[in-house]
């Protein structure tokens, strides 16, 4: 084996005199792991981290180190899976306990990466010490495991919207470079789940995460994309310049993700590798066509996860062409008012009226039956098993003859405050609609005609997510623009940067009534009509909730005094929070009759009958 130019990353020194957790033996390690307090996931994680840390500082023969890591593998996998459930899908500013669990998970990943990197370097330095295994096979397994945990650590950083740990990309690149130099990059090896893979496929799975704009994705979408890349990594190619013509290029000696090939100078390092995704993009186009034919249910993956339909378009856009800014950004400290969510945007577009007022008028009040359905104390319980329904207190209770007339005439008087009385009689919530849609005051860092970059402090709302709709009011303007949160980046000093892309300078709020083939009635839903902007050639579109709407649907747009029949034609954008459609107006029969004034009245009906 070639041991020149080993890993260019910092590895722990083996300076620990004694290992105290268990006897340095595979069976002893397995018995120790099985006796950990599984009901206390934090205690298990802390003990595993300590054991791995001490193991990395002990002098251990390569085969023995491999046996111990294999014995701990099952407990490590279960612990990491349980930990991530405790802190993912939390607000960006996490409470103390989830934040500590996230840091603990990052530490365990770091210890595992060091452990397999040490194992790989020891095998290369002293292959003759390997007696019971094929040195090349053992080295290949060590590098593959190290790459797997490196990729998962990078994924975790993206899920927490944080910068990748210092040295994280370099570790990934250097492990692959070692396998490449040893001629092991394409050798078949089993991963942690027993599936056949290669070092190259595992490397590309983690590497391409840096090419797909992960800060624009939600945590669950990142997990699905990571799993999909493991399944599709064979459709990616990597090679030196001249062997592969790729959109992206990576320098194996630098601590940075892949960049566009065109951004590198002509005198690139010999350690540069190009990544081509042409075959994968073609395959994604096929999946997208199949998905459209099935009504956009998404793509089922081998491990049971599902890749949402909008992720197919996102991956195609990211991997097929170079994306550059359409507008230059300038520094700006403009005060902005921001409200998050489609419901909030609908409320502001309706000039502060709630949904029912938009449809029925400002003085609308729901009928008593409607108010009763929202009050649990006024609902009629029709359960056949309720014994209290059989009780008749007027007949079952007999007052004693000795009761006084004053006691018999006693009645309860309940004092109700004016606000509660109004809520009971009028069905109005105690909180006004404005309280349901809070407005946050922030400042932009820079701005362009296409959007803003804003900085948010500690008071970050829980519903901040990449892909969420936001309504934005600039300065003292009375109008609200419609934007989407394109990316989120959580910085180390408790600051969060958020990128907003403007979708439209204004919107018109409507209720949408979906027409079904069976004629079933459904409640109207909130939608926003984004008007046409002729100056930039942007047609009118309809912004809807993510589910319930699809291409070729016929919809009635409703608001007080207005009703339009439209048909959704093509979905032009989608995230986990919203969908955006092109649409066309449909003329109804009375409109056709009203427009046909070319002849006598009978002639209009004749022309209609000829069309039927």
CB 72 within 8 A of CB 140: no
Is residue 261 domain-resident?
A: yes
Closest CA to 215 of 309, 299, 314: 314
The number of helix segments (H) and strand segments (E) in the chain equals 19, 21
Q: Are residues 346 and 334 in the same domain?
A: yes
Q: Distance between terminal CA atoms of the chain?
A: 82
Mean pLDDT of 438-442: 89
pLDDT at 285: 93
| Burial zone of 101 (CB within 10 Å; 0-12 exposed, 13-18 middle, 19+ buried) | buried
**178-182, 287-291, 296-300: which range is least confident on average?**
296-300
Shared domain check, 220 and 189: no
At 597 the pLDDT is 54
| Averaged pLDDT score across all residues of the chain | 82
Q: Are residues 184 and 68 in the same domain?
A: yes
pLDDT top residue among 449 and 59 = 59
Question: Which of 35-49, 145-159, 533-547 comes out lowest in average pLDDT?
Answer: 533-547
What string of DSSP letters covers 48-101?
A: HHHHHHHHHTS---HHHHHHHHHHHHHHHHHHHHHHHHHHTTS-SS--HHHHHH
pTM of the model: 0.75
Closest to 110 in 3D by CA, of 75, 65, 156, 78? 156
Of 324, 341, 365, the residue at which a domain comes to its end is 324
The more confidently predicted of residues 466 and 8 is 466
Place of tokens 């006004």: 432
Residues 342 and 466 in one domain: yes
Residue 389 pLDDT class (50, 70, 90 cuts) = very low
In a domain, 133, yes or no: yes
If pLDDT is split at 50, 70 and 90, which confidence band does 41 have? very high
pLDDT at 206: 95
Instruction: List the one residue out of 217, 214, 192 whose CA is nearest residue 202.
Output: 192
What is the band of 537 on the pLDDT scale with cuts at 50, 70, 90? confident
Predicted local distance difference test score (pLDDT) of residue 268? 66
* Structural domains counted in the chain: 4
Do 130 and 255 share a domain, yes or no? no
Whether 389 maps to a domain, the answer reads no
Give the model's pLDDT for residue 510. 94
For residue 76, tell me if it sits in a domain: yes
- Same domain, yes or no: 474 and 337: yes
What is the pLDDT at residue 458?
67
**Closest-CA residue to 486 (of 448, 540, 533, 457):** 448
Residue 402 placed within a domain: no
Q: Which helix (H) or strand (E) holds 402?
A: none
Q: Is 26 or 383 the better-scoring residue by pLDDT?
A: 26
What sign has the CA pseudo-torsion 162, 232, 319, 174?
positive
- Residue 488 confidence class, pLDDT cut points 50, 70, 90: confident
Same domain, 63 and 185: yes
In this predicted structure, which of 57-61, 205-209, 347-351, 601-605 has the lowest mean pLDDT? 601-605
Mean pLDDT over 343-351 rounds to 92
Angle between helices 96-125 and 135-159 (to 10 degrees): 160
Would you place residue 376 in the very low, low, confident or very high pLDDT band (cuts 50, 70, 90)? very low
Q: Give me the pLDDT at residue 58, please.
A: 93
Alpha helices in 294-404 (DSSP H): 309-320, 342-349, 355-360, 368-372, 393-396
- The rounded distance, in Å, linking the Cα atoms of 498 and 455 is 6
Q: Is residue 602 part of a domain?
A: no
pLDDT, residue 113, reads 96
What is the per-residue pLDDT for 124? 92
Please tell me the distance from the alpha carbon of residue 354 to that of residue 343, in angstroms, as a whole number.
9
CATH of the domain at 441: 2.40.10.220
Q: 404 falls in which pLDDT band (50, 70, 90)?
A: very low
Whether the per-residue pLDDT at 471 is higher than 90: the answer is: yes
Taking only the tens place, the pLDDT of each residue in 579-603 is 899 999 987 655 555 555 554 444 4
* Confidence (pLDDT) at 415: 54
246 falls within a domain: yes
Give residue 21's pLDDT band: very low, low, confident or very high (50, 70, 90): very high
CA distance 359 to 357: 5
How much is the average pLDDT of 9-37? 91
The pLDDT of residue 414 is 52
**Amino acid 2: pLDDT:** 54
pLDDT of 81 reads 93
What is the percent of the chain where pLDDT is above 70? 80
Per the CB < 8 A criterion, the answer to whether 170 and 254 are in contact is: yes
Q: Is the pLDDT of residue 324 over 60?
A: yes
pLDDT at 366 (0 to 100) = 60
The answer to whether residue 382 is domain-embedded is: no
Q: Which of 15-24, 142-151, 198-207 has the lowest mean pLDDT?
A: 15-24
Q: Are residues 438 and 465 in the same domain?
A: yes
Examine the domain organization and report whether 138 and 49 are in the same domain: yes
Residues whose CB is less than 8 angstroms from the CB of residue 477 and which lie 6 or more positions away in sequence, other chains included: none
Query: Taking the CA of residue 294 as centre, how many other CA atoms within 13 Å lie in the half-sphere pointing to its CB?
Result: 12
Which one is predicted more confidently, 391 or 458?
458
Residue 259 Ramachandran class (φ > 0 left, ψ -120 to 50 alpha, else beta): beta
Q: Are 142 and 66 in contact (CB under 8 A)?
A: yes
Same domain, 268 and 318: yes
In this prediction, residues 522-532 reach a mean pLDDT of 89
368 has pLDDT over 60 = no
Sign of CA dihedral 308, 314, 318, 319: positive
Find out whether 437 and 342 touch, Cβ atoms under 8 Å. no
Helix ranges (DSSP H) in 488-612: 589-595, 601-611
* pLDDT of 36 strictly over 60: yes
Residue 523's pLDDT is 83
Tell me what pLDDT residue 281 has.
95
Provide the pLDDT for residue 398.
46
Same domain membership, residue 583 and residue 468: no
- Pick 245 or 385 by higher pLDDT: 245
Q: Which of 141-155, 298-312, 422-436, 535-549 has the lowest mean pLDDT?
A: 422-436
Q: Which of 197, 227, 258 is the last residue of a domain?
A: 197
Q: Domain residues for 255?
A: 212-324
Boundary residue ending a domain (472, 504, 536): 504
Per-residue pLDDT band at 611 (split at 50, 70, 90): very low
Tokens (6 digits) for 595: 């427009």
User: How high is the pLDDT of residue 310?
Assistant: 86
Convert the pLDDT of each residue in 509-518 to its tens digit. 999 998 877 6
Give the pair of three-digit tokens for residue 347: 């409320």
User: How much is the pLDDT for 161?
Assistant: 87
181 and 240, same structural domain?
A: no
């Amino acid at each position: 084996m070639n041991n020149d130019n080993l890993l260019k990353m910092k590895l722990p020194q083996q300076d620990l005199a004694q290992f105290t957790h268990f006897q340095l033996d595979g069976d002893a390690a397995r018995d120790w792991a099985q006796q950990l307090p599984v009901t206390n996931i934090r205690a298990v994680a802390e003990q595993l981290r300590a054991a791995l840390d001490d193991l990395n500082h002990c002098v251990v023969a390569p085969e023995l180190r491999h046996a111990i890591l294999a014995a701990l593998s099952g407990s490590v996998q279960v612990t990491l899976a349980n930990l991530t459930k405790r802190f993912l899908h939390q607000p960006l500013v996490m409470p103390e306990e989830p934040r500590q669990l996230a840091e603990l998970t990052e530490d365990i990943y770091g210890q595992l990466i060091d452990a397999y990197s040490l194992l790989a370097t020891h095998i290369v330095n002293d292959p003759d010490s390997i007696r019971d295994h094929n040195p090349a096979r053992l080295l290949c397994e060590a590098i593959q495991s190290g790459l797997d945990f490196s990729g998962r650590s990078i994924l975790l950083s993206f899920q927490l919207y944080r910068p990748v740990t210092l040295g994280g990309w370099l570790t990934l690149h250097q492990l692959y470079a070692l396998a490449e130099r040893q001629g092991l990059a394409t050798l078949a090896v089993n991963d942690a789940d027993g599936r056949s893979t290669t070092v190259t496929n595992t490397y590309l799975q983690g590497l391409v995460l840096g090419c797909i704009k992960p800060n624009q994705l939600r945590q669950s979408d990142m997990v699905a994309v990571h799993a999909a890349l493991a399944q599709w990594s064979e459709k990616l190619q990597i090679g030196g310049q001249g062997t592969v013509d790729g959109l992206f290029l990576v320098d194996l000696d630098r601590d940075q993700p892949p960049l566009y090939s065109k951004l590198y100078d002509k005198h690139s390092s010999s350690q540069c590798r190009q990544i081509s995704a042409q075959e994968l993009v073609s395959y994604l186009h096929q999946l997208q066509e199949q998905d459209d034919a099935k009504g956009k249910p998404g793509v089922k993956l081998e491990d049971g996860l599902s890749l949402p339909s909008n992720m197919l378009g996102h991956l195609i856009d990211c991997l097929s062409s170079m994306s550059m800014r359409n507008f230059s950004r300038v520094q700006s400290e403009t005060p902005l008012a921001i409200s998050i969510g489609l419901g909030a945007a609908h409320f502001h577009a309706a000039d502060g009226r709630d949904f029912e007022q938009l449809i029925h008028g400002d003085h609308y009040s729901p009928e008593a039956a409607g108010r009763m359905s929202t009050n649990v104390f006024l609902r009629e319980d029709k359960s056949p098993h309720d014994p209290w329904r059989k009780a008749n207190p007027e007949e079952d209770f007999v007052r004693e003859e000795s009761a006084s007339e004053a006691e018999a005439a006693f009645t309860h008087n309940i004092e109700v405050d004016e606000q509660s009385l109004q809520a009971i009689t009028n069905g109005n919530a105690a909180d006004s609609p404005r309280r349901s849609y809070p407005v946050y005051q922030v400042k932009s860092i820079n701005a362009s005609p296409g959007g803003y970059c804003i900085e948010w402090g500690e008071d970050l709302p829980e519903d901040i997510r990449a892909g969420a709709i936001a309504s934005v009011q600039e300065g003292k303007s009375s109008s609200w623009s419609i934007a989407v949160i394109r990316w989120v980046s959580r910085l180390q000093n408790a600051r969060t940067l958020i990128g907003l892309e403007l979708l439209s300078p204004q919107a018109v709020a409507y209720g949408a009534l979906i027409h079904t083939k069976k004629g079933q009635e459904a409640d109207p839903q909130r939608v926003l009509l984004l008007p046409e902007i002729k100056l930039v050639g942007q047609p009118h579109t309809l912004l809807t909730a993510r589910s319930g709407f699809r291409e070729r649907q016929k919809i009635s747009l409703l608001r007080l005094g207005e009703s339009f029949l439209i048909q959704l034609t093509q979905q032009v954008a989608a995230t986990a929070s919203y969908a955006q459609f092109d649409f066309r107006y449909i003329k109804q029969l009375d409109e056709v009759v009203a427009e046909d004034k070319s002849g006598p009245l009978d002639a209009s009906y004749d022309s209609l009958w000829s069309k039927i």
